């Protein structure tokens, strides 16, 4: 989660450098809202898959997926995404949200 917060803070600072005070507040609120929505959507995943070997093995692939904005999709990540969706069919999360959740484990 620390990496995600650092990346979020860096993105926030980059956006804020070119923004006025009013738009800074709006930008901050929207980024925080987006991160909270992503966190809420994946909180159930992180608690139920914390000890799952298939999901834990996909952490490196998940990091590559998140860092490349979805361009790099490793075999272990694909396996973990299929496993998660099979175990929790009611979950309505994107691949990016699930990859971020895997990184928080």
Q: Could you list the residue range(s) of the whole structural domain that residue 55 is in?
A: 2-103
Rounded to whole angstroms, the Cα distance separating 87 from 105 reads 17
Rounded to whole angstroms, the Cα distance separating 63 from 61 reads 5
**pTM of the full predicted structure?**
0.56
> How many structural domains does the chain have?
1
**One digit per residue, pLDDT tens: the chain, 105 residues?**
566 677 666 666 666 665 555 555 555 566 656 556 555 555 555 567 778 899 999 999 999 999 999 999 999 999 999 999 998 888 888 999 999 988 887
Query: What integer pLDDT is reported at residue 95 of this predicted model?
Result: 93
């Amino acid at each position: 989660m620390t990496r995600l917060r650092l990346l979020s803070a860096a993105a926030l600072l980059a956006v804020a450098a070119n923004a006025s005070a009013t738009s800074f507040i709006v930008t901050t609120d929207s980024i925080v809202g987006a991160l909270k929505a992503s966190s809420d959507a994946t909180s159930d995943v992180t608690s139920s898959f914390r000890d799952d070997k298939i999901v834990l093995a996909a952490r490196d692939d998940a990091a590559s997926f998140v860092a490349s904005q979805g361009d790099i999709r490793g075999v272990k990540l694909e396996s973990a995404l299929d496993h998660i969706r099979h175990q929790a069919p009611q979950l309505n999360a994107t691949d990016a949200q699930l990859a971020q959740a895997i990184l928080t484990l």
